[in-house]
Amino acid sequence: MNPLSACLLVAAFLFCVGLAGALSRSSAILVLAGIELMLGAANLNFVAFWRYGSVAATSRVHALTGIMFVLFSIGVAAAEAAVGLALILAIYRHAKTSDVTEITELKG
Amino acid sequence: MTVAFILLALITVAAAVAAMSMPRLVHCALALVVAFAGLGCIFLALGAEFVGLAQLLVYVGAVAILIVFAILLTRGSEISMRPGARSAFSGTVIALAVFAVLAHAVMTSRVSRIATTVAPPSNRVQEIGVELLHQYVLPLEVIGLLLTAVLIGAVILAWREKPAAEQEGARTR
């Protein structure tokens, strides 16, 4: 087992922890946190392939592609968290709960 | 694979498990901060300094604060995970099955046998800046637009709606 597959295994486990949280927790905030963990695991994959992949070492042109992907992914994840939490606040104010098993309708 | 990487990976994974399994929401948020910080430190250990620091700034600095604020603003909705809940069991089983598939795919693929490069590719901040403003200038602009739209959208969504009667009263006053 080389460092690359160790990184990939860690990322896979983080992804699955996030998936388990998103599937099994009933608080909407924790569902969002689980999705953030899954995005973080994907970022770890990008960094691992950038660091250990053989493409980056051979070609100068694409040497920074992995880094760029992670930067933009972090930006999109932050945007997603902001809108998601604002939505949770709006729903909480309306339905007086943030339990995803109790919020069954969108109609106000 | 260094000792630092193994330690950081263990801390990150343990904090992530704690964040997803603790009964109280505030404890979950604190464990989540540790998990994000550990992930940022893994990036640093892998040689991606700029990304690691960006991860620390954005996740530990901004997203964690957002989550804590959301937890505090939705007080009284704190639900502990019911231990015997069916969704908890099936969610864990599904996640474990996904992990088994992913781990099998990683271990049997060619990736686990290739010779990995020793030195990290160069990623000086200057090079990243030059690349951002040359090859990646369009994505950069798009993400700037996205973040502006998100700022406005989040404010509109979280805006406290006044009840109709109260607005009527304010108008007549």
ipTM of the assembly? Answer: 0.90
Start-end of H helices in chain A: 3-24, 28-52, 54-58, 65-95
Residue A104 in domain: no
Look up the domain containing A8 and give its range: 3-95
State the pLDDT at residue B55. Answer: 93
State the pLDDT at residue A97. Answer: 80
- Reference B95, options A44, A11, A21; nearest CA is A21
Q: Cβ contact (<8 Å) for B158 and A86? A: yes
State the pLDDT at residue B112. Answer: 77
CATH number assigned to the domain comprising residue A66: 1.10.287.3510
B158 Cα to chain A: minimum distance (Å):
5
State the pLDDT at residue A108. Answer: 62
pLDDT of residue A88 exceeding 70: yes
Average pLDDT, chain A: 87
- Reference A76, options A100, A103, A46; nearest CA is A46
- Percentage with pLDDT > 70 across chain A: 91
Q: Cβ contact (<8 Å) for A14 and B39? A: yes
State the pLDDT at residue B11. Answer: 96
Residue A52 in domain: yes
Between CA B9 and CA A6 the distance in angstroms is 10
User: Model confidence over A57-75: pLDDT tens digits?
Assistant: 556 666 788 899 999 999 9
Residue A106 in domain: no
Domain extents for chain B? Answer: 124-164
- Reference A3, options A53, A55, A43, A71; nearest CA is A53
Residue A24 in domain: yes
pLDDT band at A102 (very low <50, low <70, confident <90, very high): confident
State the pLDDT at residue B81. Answer: 52
> Do you know the residue count of chain B?
173
Q: Which of B12, B20, B36 sits opposite A25 (nearest CB)?
A: B20
Mean pLDDT within A98-107: 79
Q: Which helix (H) or strand (E) holds B143?
A: helix B137-158
Residue A85 in domain: yes
Q: What is the pTM of this model?
A: 0.87
State the pLDDT at residue B82. Answer: 54
- Reference B32, options A81, A36, A100; nearest CA is A36
Q: Which of A17, A74, A99 sits opposite B79 (nearest CB)?
A: A99
A20 Cα to chain B: minimum distance (Å):
5
Residue A45 in domain: yes
> Residue A80: CA atoms inside 13 Å, Cβ hemisphere, count?
18
B166 Cα to chain A: minimum distance (Å):
16
A with B: how many residue pairs have Cβ under 8 Å apart? 251
State the pLDDT at residue B27. Answer: 92
| Number of domains, chain A | 1
pLDDT of residue A92 exceeding 80: yes
Residue A108 in domain: no
Mean pLDDT within A22-50: 92
| B23 → chain A, closest CA residue | A25
Residue A26 in domain: yes
State the pLDDT at residue A60. Answer: 62
Which residue positions in chain B have pLDDT lower than 70?
Answer: 1, 76-86, 117-118, 162-173
